[in-house]
Amino acid sequence: MSGLGKRKKVLFLIPSLNGGGAERVFTTLLRHLDRTRFEPHLALLEATGAYTDDIPADIVVHDLKVKRVRYAWPAIIRLVRKIRPEAILSTPGHLNIAIAMFRFLLPRKLKVLVREAVIVSALLPEETSHLGLWTWLYRYAYRRADLVICLSDSMIDDMVKEIGLPPHKLHRIYNPVDLERLRQQTASSENPYRGPGPHLVAAGRLNHQKGFDVLLAAMPVVVATLPSARLTVLGEGPLLNALQEQSQQLGLDDVVCFAGFSNSPWTYLKHADVFVLPSRYEGLPNVMLEAIALGTPVVATDCPGAVREVCNLLGGITLVPVEDSRSLAEAVIEVAGVNGARLRTVQRDMSAFDLRRIVDEYSDTF
């Protein structure tokens, strides 16, 4: 039998390829997974999203054609029985729970890997009033996975202390940073900003978790000290209209630009004076890692998640309390000045997030 005949089939499962960190990670893994060892398949609840163009041509894409996870599990079971993968990797949490809950209907030899994207103990109180039920679901379901991939050591600690998972079920793999692609995309990029600045950029889904309302509340203080400061917000989401209305009420029409989603935000990151992450909680934000890799100073909230862990590993981040618009404004003002120029000149060691290293770590789990 040839070497290709011995490849392991791995099924990647995610709801869609709409813009987000998990989608970015999956498309990166699919591009770089060793084809001499693995035959990767991708299953989507809906084959839509901005990252569909990033899927390599040799990847078999299975469109399950369902809108909600609750309706997906019969199609998933049929697909698994049809293609017979050796391993399945799913994300995010609600899909992970469905896979693990119905594991008894899947082949016994199938290796079930679930990738958790956020700090669960911070997510649950915000997302549901049935906190006890969802905590039990995470604990019950995740124990039935072969491995829970966590994005940081802090996430592992949270899973053990708050969800009650045994440590041997948990494995930390950081998100990868594709430095070569970053450099190619930004090598000759033009500055997208106009005016003297300083130019601030923030990126992410426009929802409560990401804290853009706190950043907008900070901007009048920033502009009072730095009148030519401008903020570009990259992203889409359910709070777009509310955030635009807040911006208008604060008199920021000429200060804040809602630029929409970009599947290649690196030009904005490279040319910004400061990247701002005002989140209430996080997993491991890819865009923050990329900003640091591009030499852009970062102001971020010291929120539950991997932000402080990244700060300890890489530096280049000024931390402020969560939901504190005054502290956020003061940090932006400081970093946008001389401190920002100093931070930009420091070379960061990104080896912990090296693309090849992270792909190898995932390969080992398969």
Q: What is the pLDDT of residues 201-244, one digit of tens each?
A: 999 999 999 999 999 999 999 999 999 999 999 999 999 999 99
Do 173 and 208 lie in one domain? The reply is: no
Do 128 and 258 fall into the same domain?
no
Q: Is 321 exposed, middle or buried (0-12, 13-18, 19+ CB in 10 A)?
A: exposed
> 246 and 143, same structural domain?
no
Predicted local confidence at residue 73, as pLDDT:
87
Rounded to an integer, what distance in angstroms lies between the CA atom of residue 294 and that of residue 286?
12
Domain check: are 52 and 196 in the same one?
no
Please indicate, yes or no, whether residues 34 and 121 belong to a single structural domain of this protein. Answer: yes
Question: How confident is the model at residue 313, as a pLDDT?
Answer: 94
**205 shares a domain with 123:** no
- Co-location of 236 and 87 in the same domain: no
pLDDT the model gives residue 342: 65
pLDDT at 3 > cutoff 90: no
How many domains does the chain divide into?
Answer: 2
99 with 244, same domain: the answer is: no
pLDDT of the residue at 348 = 87
Structural domain that includes position 185: 179-344
Residue of 70 and 11 predicted with greater confidence: 11
pLDDT digits (tens, 9 = 90+) for 339-364: 666 677 677 899 999 999 999 999 99
Are 266 and 336 within one domain?
yes
| CA dihedral sign, ordered 137, 139, 143, 148 | positive
Please report which confidence band the pLDDT of residue 2 belongs to, taking 50, 70 and 90 as the band edges. very low
Same domain, 192 and 340: yes
pLDDT at residue 127 in the model: 57
**Which residue's entry shows tokens 């009048």?**
220
Single pTM value for the model: 0.92
Q: What are the phi and psi torsion angles at 192 (to 5°)? A: -80, -5
* Range of weakest confidence among 65-79, 136-150, 155-169, 307-321: 65-79
pLDDT tens digits, residue range 47-97?
Answer: 888 888 889 999 999 999 998 888 888 999 999 999 999 999 999 999 999
State what percent of residues in the chain have pLDDT above 90: 80
Residue 129 has pLDDT above 80, yes or no: no
- Number of alpha helices (DSSP H) and beta strands (DSSP E) in the chain: 15, 13
CATH number at residue 338: 3.40.50.2000
Give the pLDDT of residue 27: 94
Q: What is the pLDDT of residue 315?
A: 87
Mean pLDDT of 143-154: 96
Q: 343 near 321, Cβ under 8 Å?
A: no
What are 296-332's pLDDT values in tens digits? 999 999 999 999 999 999 988 999 999 999 999 999 9
Residues 8, 110 within the same domain = yes
CA 109 to the chain's CA centroid: 30
Q: State mean pLDDT over 269-287.
A: 96
Same domain, 68 and 168: yes
